[in-house]
A and B are shown apart, each in its own frame.
Chain A
Amino acid sequence: MLIRKGGPIMGVLIQWETDMQKAMNRAHTENKPMLLDFFDAG
């Protein structure tokens, strides 16, 4: 998996947001709920 600091994570083909405020803005714009995944970064 490639992780890019300060921007979306590309987990294979899933585009993950890394910032809550950006995710909320998208949720409002796209009228969708959010999925928050806490993961163990090791």
Chain B
Amino acid sequence: MDAVTYPDAKVMQFVTEAVVALRVPADSEPLATDFTLRWTPTLIILDKNGKEHSRTVGFIAPEEFIPTMSLGMAKTALDLREFESAITNLERIINEYPQSFAAPEAIFYRAVCGYKTVHDVAGLKKAHERLAKEYPQSEWVKRSAPYRLL
């Protein structure tokens, strides 16, 4: 991460603007125990009160960093029922990083936000159809499969 990802200009800008960045050694206690650290690198998205909402384990390449962190931020916002923030982060992934690993899951959760905010049932079905067409190998095709019956 230090050699490749964090020196990337877009990654630096994103981290500076979007989050408060906290970095500790893997043997730092009590945090390592509190967060059940198993391996490094582990990146965790926390809300303002320090509660975990998303984590990734393993190296993240520069081109995957922003969409991966945006997905974590979206899940945090969704958990807190801050739907506008969740949608902003999800649409960043969908529109700006459609080839990223996070994109199919972002489409799924964007539809979830649509249902939770305006009860958009049709959006769930459309999300499944889009996932099946554009990301046929993604696990999110199967996870959204029940929506094809809506």
Residues on A facing B (Cβ under 8 Å) = 1, 9, 11-20, 23-24, 26-28, 30-41
| Number of CB contacts from chain A to chain B under 8 A | 126
The reply to whether the CB of B103 lies closer than 8 angstroms to some CB of chain A is no
Given contacts A24-B50, A31-B48, contact A17 B23 (CB under 8 A): yes
- Chain B count of residues within 8 A CB distance of the other chain: 38
The reply to whether the CB of B146 lies closer than 8 angstroms to some CB of chain A is no
Q: Is the CB–CB distance between B20 and A40 below 8 Å?
A: no
Q: Is the CB–CB distance between B19 and A24 below 8 Å?
A: no
Give A41 to B47 CA distance when docked, in angstroms: 25
Q: Is the CB–CB distance between B16 and A34 below 8 Å?
A: no
Instruction: Select B12's contact among A14, A38, A40, beta carbons within 8 Å.
Output: A14
Give A17 to B22 CA distance when docked, in angstroms: 5
Give A38 to B76 CA distance when docked, in angstroms: 19
3 tightest CB-CB pairs across the interface, nearest first?
A16-B23, A41-B25, A23-B22
The reply to whether the CB of B40 lies closer than 8 angstroms to some CB of chain A is yes
Give A13 to B73 CA distance when docked, in angstroms: 22
Q: Is the CB–CB distance between A37 and B47 below 8 Å?
A: no
Give A14 to B20 CA distance when docked, in angstroms: 10
Q: Is the CB–CB distance between B48 and A15 below 8 Å?
A: no
Q: Is the CB–CB distance between B76 and A33 below 8 Å?
A: yes
Q: Is the CB–CB distance between A14 and B16 below 8 Å?
A: yes
CB-CB contacts of B23-67 with A at 8 A, as 1s and 0s? 111111001100101001111111111100100000000000000
Q: Is the CB–CB distance between B31 and A20 below 8 Å?
A: yes
